[in-house]
Amino acid sequence: MLTIVLGLSAACLYSLYNVFSQRLLRTQSWMTLTLAMFVTGLVLLGLPALLVDGLPFDDGELADLGLAALGGLLYTLATATFLLALRVGKLSIVVVLACLDGAFAAAISIAMGETLSAMAAAGLVLAAGGGLLAAVEHDPDGRGSEGDGGRRWRLAAGAGLALLCGAAMAGVFISYGQIDAFSPFTTVTVASLAGLVVMIPVAAAHRALMPPRGRAAAVVGVSVLDMVAFLAGSAALAIGPVSVASVLQAQTATVSTVLGLAVVRERPAWWQTLGVGLTIVGVSLLAWAM
């Protein structure tokens, strides 16, 4: 029961983070939000990391530190592309496409010679097909040939960035999955430090280090929301069973879609709505199988 509560809580908290971040991006730079997220990670997880794991100094732990840092750099790319996609795209489309990280990870596994179960293969097919439907829209400024109804197609706003986010997150999970020398607390702490090394000079160059005083509380709030969601998801996975926790967290796409349609009042095209539904089913199957 506790796993169900924590897994669903993580999905709901991540979805609220998505909604509030999209609204903040109307006035705030993605760099400010990303920087605040990494600082929050250090503040909330730095001390627990020291208490649980201590300082990692032996050779095996140093190797895993490199993997954690690599994951942090990939997470920086994933966060940047996700926030940029949210700024220009529909919440219900962007989040679902970003949640294709499991499909990308499955594709990488196949490329490395791994054989997927029938359920995972079905999930991959549904996720890929649904993602394709969700990612395209009619181009109102283009005219096609008579054979395609006189219309041209294009990637939906933010779709390309969201797919890049999903690919980067697949790399994050693969990197983190190789770490066994210390807990997720230290992993995220090291990843946050690696992200700050990149983001501080970038944000400073664009004068986006600090949010305006009137927006500081909101920026910190969404960062804390993201970190609490991470802790809830990590606890669900630790308590287990992992299959249940993974499927419940995969419902971030479902909850975000509902919020996009009901709260933000988005109206995707019918084929995009169908694609979103297929992708959610496919992602859930992948989470259960893998």
Would you give per-residue pLDDT tens digits along the chain (290 residues)?
788 888 889 889 999 999 999 999 989 999 999 999 999 988 888 888 888 878 766 766 788 889 989 999 999 999 999 999 999 999 989 999 998 887 888 788 777 777 778 888 888 888 888 888 888 887 766 554 444 455 578 888 899 999 999 999 888 888 887 888 888 888 888 999 999 999 999 999 999 988 888 889 999 999 999 888 888 887 887 787 766 777 777 788 888 888 888 888 888 888 888 988 888 888 888 877 76
The residue segments making up the domain with residue 11 are 2-289
How far apart CA 256 and CA 93 sit, in angstroms, is 9
The sign of the CA dihedral 157, 276, 173, 110 is negative
Q: What's the pLDDT score for residue 142?
A: 59
Residue 117: Cβ within 10 Å count? 12
Those residues with Cβ within 8 angstroms of residue 1's Cβ, 6 or more apart along the chain or in another chain? none
Tokens encoding 45: 């997880």
Token pair in block for residue 16:
């609220």
**How far apart are alpha carbons 200 and 229 in whole angstroms?**
24
Cis peptide before 212 (omega within 30 of 0): no
**DSSP letter, residue 251:** T
Distance CA 72, CA 175 (A): 9
pTM, entire model? 0.86
pLDDT of residue 88: 93
**In this predicted structure, what is the pLDDT of residue 146?**
47
Q: Dihedrals φ, ψ of 113, to 5°?
A: 100, 5
pLDDT of residue 56: 66
CB-facing half-sphere around the CA of 155: CA atoms within 13 A = 14
Helix (H, G, I), strand (E, B) or coil at 153: strand
Residue 181, classed as helix, strand or coil, is coil
Q: Does residue 85 contact residue 161 with C-beta atoms inside 8 Å?
A: yes
Residue 155: DSSP 8-state = E
**pLDDT at 196 (0 to 100):** 95
Alpha carbons 159 and 276: distance in angstroms, whole number:
12
- Whole-number Å distance between alpha carbons of 257 and 115: 31
Number of domains, the chain: 1
* Per-residue confidence (pLDDT) for residue 127, from 0 to 100: 86
Least Cα distance to 159 among 171, 167, 151 occurs for 167
Bridge-based pairing state of the strands 152-155 and 136-139: antiparallel
